[in-house]
Amino acid sequence: TVTVAIIDTGIDTTHSDLKDSIWVNEDEIPGDGIDNDGNGYVDDVNGWNFVSNSNEICTGEEDSHGTHGAGTIAAAWNNGGIAGITDSTHVKLMVLKALGGSEGKGSPESVIEAIKYAEANGADICNLSFGSDNCTPEFEAAIRDSKMLFVVAAGNGNQYQIGYDIDKSPVYPASLPYDNVITVGNLLFNGHLDESSNYGATSVDLAAPGTYILSTIPGDSYAYMSGTSMAAPMVTGAAALIYSARTDLSLQDIKTAILSTVHKLAPLKGKTATGGMLDVSAAIKWTKN
């Protein structure tokens, strides 16, 4: 079993495509108003809301962004909705709402707290579909010192939604140079990066589909969304799938497997470190030398 922490807006855990994919804190008794496991969070059965400091992890429409990413990673297979990349029987999603409001924003402090919660509660992989021009030393350290594998969105360009080189104009956490970070650009159907996708021959590792992605949203519904926020969960889902299937591999091996087996595409040369797009089939067959 693999636990994926989604630090984002909240997630609609009652969605018919997600209800069996959600992580459960077995040490907590639901609804008794007591912090049963003594971790400082009362009734944190499926995660925590770091925006309002409560266990209300879905507040409605503002949680579409996180719910959409969750579906891409682990929506149920064969139930008539969409299908996530990984099997929800073996991969569970920890809901950590650190972004909120009409613009889906949050503070570095909330994200740091969410990262620490995820690690303390056994998460293996962490999806971060957000970015900022600023980075505090504390935020940097939270990622650098974590044992989790982070999959990060490269970002969606400037105010005109034109992608730029984040090697020259860093975005965080996408530009962090750590071994436990994979940064993902938004790939179009034609093998080019979307015009809005940030890029970087050093900072952006690979590309994955991120434009007009159909996935889950609150209210047991579905919607198309576009952006590197949609591309990152593709790689998160792949990492979780491989990690659950290949018990011989470490999380660092998973990163190597994904990046060393990309499908090379000429338009991605010089735009990403690998010059390629995610190839899940090749990655899961990767053999360690």
> Which residues are tagged catalytic?
8, 65, 229
Buried-state track 19-45, b at ≥16 Cβ within 10 A, e below 16: eebbbebeebeeeeeeeeeeeebebbb
Which residue type occupies 122? Answer: G
- How many Cα atoms within 13 Å fall on the side-chain side of residue 190? 5
* φ, ψ for residue 212, nearest 5 deg: 50, 55
Buried-state track 229-245, b at ≥16 Cβ within 10 A, e below 16: bbbbbbbbbbbbbbbbe
Place of tokens 């008539």: 80
Helix axes 64-74, 228-245, angle to 10 degrees: 40
In angstroms, rounded to a whole number, what is the distance separating the alpha carbons of residues 101 and 124? 28
In angstroms, rounded to a whole number, what is the distance separating the alpha carbons of residues 231 and 213? 9
Supply the DSSP string of 179-248, one letter for each residue: TTEEEEEEE-TTSSBPTT--B-TTT--EEEE-SSEEEEETTTEEEEE-SHHHHHHHHHHHHHHHHHH-TT
